[in-house]
Structure 1
Amino acid sequence: MRFSVLASGSSGNAVYVETDEHAFLVDAGLSGRKMEELLVSIDRSMKKLSGILVTHEHSDHIKGLGVLARKYNVPIYANAKTWMAMEHLIGKISIDQKYHFDMESVKTFGSLDIQSFAVSHDAADPMFYVFHENGRKLVLITDTGYVSDRMKGYIKGGDSYVFESNHDVGMLQMCRYPWSIKRRILSDVGHVSNEDAAVAMSEVVEQKPTRIYLSHLSKDNNMKDLARMSVTQTLESCGIVTGEFINLYDTDANKSTQLVTV
């Protein structure tokens, strides 16, 4: 199993996951053209996709979805409430491309099992995914106001994580956002901070080689160096030293990460 974080941030999100038999996008939050360019940058093509898995209907996760679905006739997977919330946003999609992926269920594609789980975000029915193949586990978890014990049960023991580290609380409190926006981000249906993300990580990572990609960083209220420093310090305060088994990696809003094996 291999993956690349094609883009991650306030302006758009997408992750590519493949096995020898199948290839998937999780979300398509940039324009169709930009999504094509990002796949080309890792030497992959939209024409080879087995499907696009949707997490929720916010524009930074579905901006290019309709265009790509129509151009490449690719199957789209989402739960029923997400389909209802996004249908008027993505344009007409052929009925034979619409697939339901129920919350907290598993779909199998050859050697790959994809498991969905609920997160806490202000969308219709947001969910993220865990990919299992040959005893290896890739976890995607962003767009959640907190990480519950139930979520931790799904994501514990991953070999690689794409983990939200959205904001620095101090920067958010001092920024020019209206208080209503700040309150939403800080709420249980908003986004997790650097420190809260790290505390959750400390409760799910195991003492084995693990890659953690810090993702969905706010362009206004976070910085890569700050996120890495905050997560590192918080993990260390929880007794986990990075750089030995646990390694942190950056993501970018406009550039894909290297395609790596889980």
Structure 2
Amino acid sequence: MSLHFSVLASGSTGNALYVGTEQTKLLVDAGLSGKAMESLFKDINRDIKEVSGILVTHEHSDHIKGLGVLARRYQVPIYANEKTWKAMNHLIGDIPTEQKFIFNMETTHQFGDLEVESFGVSHDAAEPMFYVFHHNGKKFVTITDTGYVSDRMKGIISNADMYIFESNHDVEMLRMGKYPWSIKRRILSDVGHVSNEDAALAMADVIGDKTQRIYLAHLSQDNNMKELAKMSVTQTLEGKGFEVGTQFALHHTDPQKPTDIVYV
């Protein structure tokens, strides 16, 4: 069984990603209730008891809501950097010391037959980071919750086989929407979230010959729509000379329904 994944849930209400190989099963974030997480695993016909570790990106509630429950219920190890541990300790309840592991930014850990590389992003959290998964020459990237994509990030994530890429908001919908200006300013800032257009511009710099699929993730339920995100990203990429749908495919994610299992 080759490297595979399912975006279990993606959006402002909760985020979780399953990544597996024949030997290793990992969960990235657990941003829904424990009950909801168990239901999502059933939806993809995977056993949550087989998860050998939960990797945490940052301490915001839409990424750790079910973390403590799952850790205690299934005795699963949790991996996060030191600043994230400090920021989330009081939010997830008591976790046995033997289940708490440090995975610092800009380091690589080996989980069975799966190599996982961490990298920092720009978000208003203690020390947010995301991950690149390597297995048998395949490269799979997840990157959301960042206000912009720096050249350093681009160098790390370039030419992956598949991406989960933030496409959070349409700028005009956000500006005209109901959010107070303080929230709008935060989202638009360098430590907020990337817009559809900015996401596409970053994608244009990292898509390579290997790239097969891109999943648009962490869409705002108030300031974006699936078809609008896909259209905006497609138009921007085609303006850069890419043949969307021919060179690679664009896919949606959903805040409540998992994607089908995808093999990299």
The answer for the alignment partner of 1:32 in structure 2 is 34
Equivalent in the alignment of 1:198:
200
Which residues of 2 match residues 1-262 of structure 1 at below 5 A? 1-262=3-264
Report the 3-state secondary structure (helix = DSSP H, G, I; strand = E; otherwise coil) of the residue aligned with 1:131.
Answer: strand
Q: Report the Cα offset of residue 30 of structure 1.
A: 0.2
* TM-score (ref. length: structure 1): 0.99
Q: How many residues align structurally? A: 262
Q: Shift in Å at residue 110 of structure 1?
A: 2.5
**Structure 1 unaligned residues grouped into runs of 5+:** none
Question: For the aligned residues, what is the CA RMSD?
Answer: 0.6
One-letter code aligned to 1:64: G
Return the letter of the residue paired with 2:141. V
Q: Using the aligned pairs only, state the percent identity.
A: 67
1:24-75 deviation digits (Å, cap 9, x = unpaired): 0000000000000001100011100010000000000000000000000000
- Shift in Å, 1:111: 2.1
Q: Per the alignment, do residues 82 and 215 of structure 1 end up closer, same or farther by CA in structure 2, a change over 3 Å counting?
A: same
CA apart distance, 1:245: 1.8
Letter in 1 for 2:79: Y
State the alpha-carbon separation in 2 of the partners of residues 212 and 197 from structure 1.
11
Q: Distance in 2 between matches of 1:101 and 1:248?
A: 31
Runs of at least 4 residues of structure 1 off by over 2 A?
none
Contact 1:208 1:245 in 2 (8 A): no
Superposed CA offset, 1:119-156 (max 9, x none) = 00000000000000011001000000000000001100
Per-residue CA deviation, residues 65-89 of structure 1 (Å, 9 max, x unaligned), is 0000000000000000000000000
Q: Is the 8 A contact 2:160 2:210 kept in 1?
A: no
Question: What is the DSSP-based 3-state SS (H/G/I as helix, E as strand, rest coil) of the residue aligned with 1:38?
Answer: helix
In 1, Cα distance between equivalents of 2:78 and 2:263:
24
TM norm structure 2: 0.98
SS of 1:116's equivalent in the other structure is strand
The whole-number CA distance in structure 2 between the counterparts of 1:209 and 1:235 is 14
Question: The residue matched to 2:154 in structure 1 has which SS?
Answer: helix
Unaligned 5+ segments in structure 2 are none
- Tell me which amino acid in the other structure corresponds to 1:229: M
CA contact (8 A) 2:24 2:113 kept: no
Deviation of the 1:209 alpha carbon: 4.6
Alpha-carbon contact 2:159-2:211 (below 8 Å) kept? no
SS in 2 for 1:191: coil
